[in-house]
Homo-oligomer: A and B are copies of this chain.
Amino acid sequence: MSYQLLEQRFQQLHHLQHLQAICGWDQATMMPDGGNQARGAALAELALLHHQKLTSVEVADWLNTAENEELSDAQKANLHEMRRRWQNAALLPDDLVQARALAGSRCEHAWRGQRKNNDWKGFEPNLKVVVDLTREAAQIRAEALELSPYDSLIDLYEPGMTSNQLLRIFNDLKTWLPQIIRQAGERQSQYSPVKPEGPFPAGRQKSLGLHAMKMLGFDFNHGRLDISTHPFCGGVPEDVRITTRYNENDFMSSLMGVIHETGHARYEQGLPVAWRGQPVGEARSMGIHESQSLFFEMQLARHPAFLHRMAPLIKQHFGDQPALEADNLIQLYSRIEPGFIRVDADELTYPAHIILRFEIEQALIEGKIQVHDLPEVWNTKMQQYLGLSTKGNDAMGCMQDIHWTDGSFGYFPSYTLGAIYAAQFAGAIERDIGNIGDLIASDNGLSLIFNWLKNNVWEKASLLSTDELICQATGEPLNTQWFRHYLEQRYTML
């Protein structure tokens, strides 16, 4: 049966991905600088092998034949995901794929220096090459998938999501989010939380992070915690590698970072064992992935009840000081402050960063604006959404993210979709089990929450579409009101 042959082939591809994931993790955490060139060459060879095995002619034949074979629902879903992966790899001609990889790698490499030097003039021509090639790729994908060019890129990260739907979601946010931000600002002006005084030795921060991971059910028999410049969750479901970085003057950022990555990790560790190695057994989308990390960070860890549990542990690690009282930590962990940098943004102003990028990306891919226009458009929207000017400061503006440098247009919306899904899951959990604060405070409440996530999200992997997954778990499709409700509760009503 062709379907069986496909399962075998995708099992092989999964093994190659395993090698990629571990060597990629090693590159970011363990590898000395001098090893980089050889590693790059080895990983490029692996990527080529993966591409060849995925796009070889027999795969297309098997995909077509398998459509007519008798398959279970799960097998059908697997076949669907196989075709998606095959399409994503096979749609673009090899020379375009190579040109994009080359331009992306050049642009990203140059960007590291150019961003530091606020050198837009130097960056602009590199980015233009990337954008031109991305437009070309989007055009080809659009025609084959019968989507608009920008939607064909979004589909890489959020299968089934469209820019029209995102537009509705983001327009809705625009109607109520500014009001919450205003109220939150007024409320927080009444408090003056104290900043914890360091130093906070890296070794103790690590120990604290490991405690938090344990509390949150991370399976250390199938994963570990290490250090990297840019924190991430990598590895494979059987061996999930999360990373953080330590600033000895500030433990709060690493602690929340570790918890965020623990959310990603538990999703991976909780994927169904029966479908290991098959596309349908992988995470549903970037948005759902982010919903798990944000659920762990926002819905659980920044919750007052959680910080009440953490405070004694934190004091145990760093010694007692007034700033480490639970109430002070709660205020610190819910401060908001409009800023230039997306990755440093708080939960309330984060969506503005995403909406700005979404609007710019769409216009850019569709040719309504050009690379040359980016600094001005960025500045205009930053003034409009966050009241900040990036004029002459592109390092803090349109040059701040790595995503565009290698052509990952269409990714940004996933971050805010994740935040919205996370709040909706929290609402469903309160409906199904009980108040989240009470659950956190109780002995086995966290376990109940994790079981709910396991049953409704992790074990579903890609067996359902995102819409089906959300509907089955929460009783309705994506609904921004849960996000609104949650933000009001957390930021305006304490």
Contacts and interface: CB of A to CB of B under 8 A. Distances in A.
A30 interface: yes
Contact of A32 (B42, B224, B237): B224
Given A222-B34, A224-B32, A42 B15 contact: yes
A238 interface: yes
A23 interface: yes
Contact of A16 (B35, B45, B220, B224): B45
Contact of A236 (B35, B235, B236, B238): B35
Given A41-B15, A45-B15, A219 B22 contact: no
A359 B31 CA distance: 43
Nearest to A29: B30
B15 A46 contact: yes
Most buried by B among A34, A43, A44, A221: A34
A19 B33 contact: no
Contacts of A343: none
Given A39-B18, A238-B37, A224 B23 contact: no
A239 interface: yes
Contacts of A41: 15, 18
Interface in A10-27: 12, 15-16, 18-19, 22-23, 26
B15 A221 contact: no
A38 interface: yes
A151 B423 CA distance: 70
A441 to B, nearest CB: 31
A185 interface: no
B45 A12 contact: yes
Contacts of A37: 238
A39 B26 CA distance: 15
A32 B236 contact: no
A237 B38 CA distance: 9
A49 interface: yes
B19 A23 contact: yes
Contacts of A16: 42, 45-46
A24 to B, nearest CB: 10
> Which bucket holds chain A's interface residue count?
35 or more
A223 interface: yes
A346 to B, nearest CB: 34
A76 B165 CA distance: 64
A220 B19 contact: no
B224 A34 contact: no
- Residue with the highest number of chain B CB atoms closer than 10 Å, among A16, A18, A35, A276: A35
Contacts of A46: 15-16, 19
A218 to B, nearest CB: 11
Most chain B Cβ neighbours within 10 Å, of A15, A46, A219: A15
Nearest to A46: B19
B18 A19 contact: no
A247 to B, nearest CB: 22
Contacts of A26: 22, 26
Interface string A231-243: 0000111110000
Residue from A12, A37, A41, A42 with most neighbouring chain B CB atoms (10 Å): A42
A221 B23 contact: no
A210 to B, nearest CB: 13
A33 to B, nearest CB: 6
A266 to B, nearest CB: 14
Of A43, A44, A220, A222, chain B has the most CB atoms within 10 Å of the CB of A222
Nearest to A19: B19
A222 to B, nearest CB: 4
A181 to B, nearest CB: 43
A221 B30 contact: no
Contacts of A224: 30, 32
B34 A18 contact: no
Contact of A22 (B15, B22, B34, B44): B22
A12 B224 CA distance: 31
10 contacts: A15-B42, A16-B45, A18-B41, A18-B42, A19-B46, A22-B23, A23-B23, A32-B221, A38-B237, A38-B239
Across the A-B interface, the 6 shortest Cβ-Cβ residue pairs: A35-B239, A15-B45, A18-B42, A34-B221, A38-B238, A34-B222
